[in-house]
Every structure is written in structure tokens, then in C-alpha cells.
Chain A
């Protein structure tokens, strides 16, 4: 694909895939927030038993896990963009990108542990 008279846009993905996944994961998160909000409102007044009951059904655990995965992927793309925009030293940028992946993977593992204990 050529853009303008001077620049040829070819080769490695040019971020289109990430751009699309960021939108897809955003939609997943909005849908999940709606489901969660409906379930919270339906179990008002909220106490401990009502709150945990929200996450007991397997389908809600799966939905919540999918939401956490979508969140991690969404956050990865956002943070990746931030590091690519502002951090020019390659070594530092690589370090931050790696730290971001580890950070998100750790959060995801923790989220799973919390969910399946309920």
C-alpha cells in the first residue's frame, strides 16, 4: 500500500492487527462491565454473600476470566504504544516492554487464583 508520493507502507504489520485487537478487547470489556453492573444491581443491597454469589456460577467465572484476558491484552497494546512513543533508548524500551508483559502475566495469574477460590 502506498501512502502519498514519497512513502511506501509495506512489510511488518504496521500495527493494524494490534489496532484492531485493541478495539475488539475494548468492546469485550464494555460488554463485561454491562453484565457485571446488571448482576450487581440485581443483588442489591450488596453484602458479602450477595457479592461472592455474583462470581460463583461457572459462566460468570469464565466471563470474568475472558474480561481479565481482554484487559491484559488491551493494556499491553496501550502500554506498548506509550513506551514506543516516549522511550527512545532501545535497551530501556525493551526492558520496559518485557516488564510490562511480566507485570500483566502476573496480574492475570493472580486474577485466576482469586476467581477460582470463590
Chain B
């Protein structure tokens, strides 16, 4: 009887030196950004509530947006949304058999990550008053 090759998951200690290809990196960031937004849902709802509740609440929100910590959280969530959105559109394209070959998948993964970072930088520039 021939022995079948044993394939195991990598150990958690291997994570730091395990080099993911671009589509793998995009995939785990898609998951991480989704989980981050799930945890931040009450924050989004709280901001939504505050913005619609009253004129004073709306002004309070504007004042909040001048705080450093709030700005950093908003930039992080903006990245999460942009990455998740663009990576998700890429997955929908893959579902339609578009860009399935290796080179194309690597290229599109790099493009998605670059574009989401660039748009996040744009959001950050607006928020921090650079633009």
C-alpha cells in the first residue's frame, strides 16, 4: 500500500516567515477587514445615530472628527471598507471566470491592494486637512 503524502496546516509560529503570494495576502486581508468591520458595527451605528439625531449631534460628530484617535480609527475603517469592497469585486470577477490564470490573479491582487491603499491615503489626507 502506497503512503499518501501528509499535508498539514502550518503552525502558528510559522506565520511570520510564511510568505503568502499576493492573492493569498489579499485574501487574508479581506477576512481581517471584514472581521474588523463586524467588530466596529456598533461604532458605525453610533456615528450614524449621532449624525441623524439632531443638529447638535451632527455638530458633535464634526467636532469628534478633529480628534486624533477618532481620525485614526476612521482611516483604519475606511481602509477596511475599501479593501473589502475592491477585493470583493475582484472575487465576483473570479466567480465569473475572469482573470483566473496565475499571472492575471497576481496582477489584479496587487492592483486591488495598491488602489485601496491609495484611496485610504486620500481619505486620510482629507481627514487630516492636508488636502
A30 touches B89 (CB 8 A): yes
Interface size of B as a range? 20 to 34
9-residue interface stretch from B18-26, B48-56, B97-105, B108-116: B48-56
B122 within 8 A of A: no
Encode contact with B along A68-79: 1 for CB under 8 Å, 0 otherwise. 000000010011
Q: Which residues of A contact B54 (CB under 8 A)?
A: 48
Smallest CB-CB A-B distances: 3 pairs = A48-B58, A48-B55, A78-B34
A27 CA / B52 CA spacing, docked (Å):
26
B95 within 8 A of A: yes
A27 CA / B88 CA spacing, docked (Å):
9
Query: Which A residues between 76 and 118 are near B, CB-CB below 8 angstroms?
Result: 78-79, 82, 103-104, 107, 110-111, 114, 117-118
Partner-A contacts on B (CB < 8 A): 31, 34-35, 37-38, 41-42, 45, 48-49, 51-55, 58-59, 85, 88-89, 92, 95
Say yes or no: A110-B55 contact (C-beta < 8 A), given A26-B92, A75-B34, A82-B31. no
Q: Which residues of A contact B37 (CB under 8 A)?
A: 75
A107 touches B85 (CB 8 A): no
B95 touches A82 (CB 8 A): no
A82 touches B92 (CB 8 A): no
Q: Which residues of A contact B49 (CB under 8 A)?
A: 110, 114
Question: How close is B115's CB to chain A, nearest CB, in angstroms?
Answer: 15
Picked from B35, B38, B51, the residue with its CB within 8 Å of the CB of A51 is B51
Q: Which residue of A lies closest to B4 (CB)?
A: A6
Q: Which residues of B contact A78 (CB under 8 A)?
A: 31, 34-35, 38
Q: Which residue of A lies closest to B55 (CB)?
A: A48
Q: Which residues of A contact B45 (CB under 8 A)?
A: 107, 110-111, 114
Q: Which residues of A contact B51 (CB under 8 A)?
A: 51
Question: How close is A84's CB to chain B, nearest CB, in angstroms?
Answer: 12
